[in-house]
Amino acid sequence: MNQQFIVDFALESIKTTLLLSAPMLGFGLASGLLVSIFQAVTSIQELTLTFIPKILSVFLAMILFLPWLLQVMLSFTSRILMGFPEFIK
């Protein structure tokens, strides 16, 4: 195990984390933008109005992307476990 391996492993872990969180963050951003536009147009400045649509949209994204998320997580985990003998050299 050398420094290059550790850097590559950390980089792949960060990429996988960003890839897994992107759908939920995107849906949350889109719903937040829509709610903000709605609030600006109607002059409703209710603070709790922003939370419920964001929570629901993130939950919806999680349900929609769950098969893909599981596939990405399983492939990352299997690469880690299959390469374990090489890691301990």
Specify whether the CB–CB gap between 26 and 61 falls below 8 A: yes
Mean pLDDT along residues 60-69: 96
For the chain, report the end-to-end CA distance as a whole number of angstroms.
6
Determine the average pLDDT of the residues in 63-77: 96
pTM of the entire predicted model: 0.79
By residue count, the chain amounts to 89
Over residues 10-63, the pLDDT tens digits come to: 999 999 999 999 999 999 999 999 999 999 999 888 888 889 999 999 999 999
Instruction: Quickly tell me which residue has 């759908």 as its tokens.
Output: 23
Q: What is the pLDDT of residues 36-50, one digit of tens each?
A: 999 999 988 888 888
Separation in Å, CA 7 to CA 12, 27, 50, 83: 9, 31, 39, 16
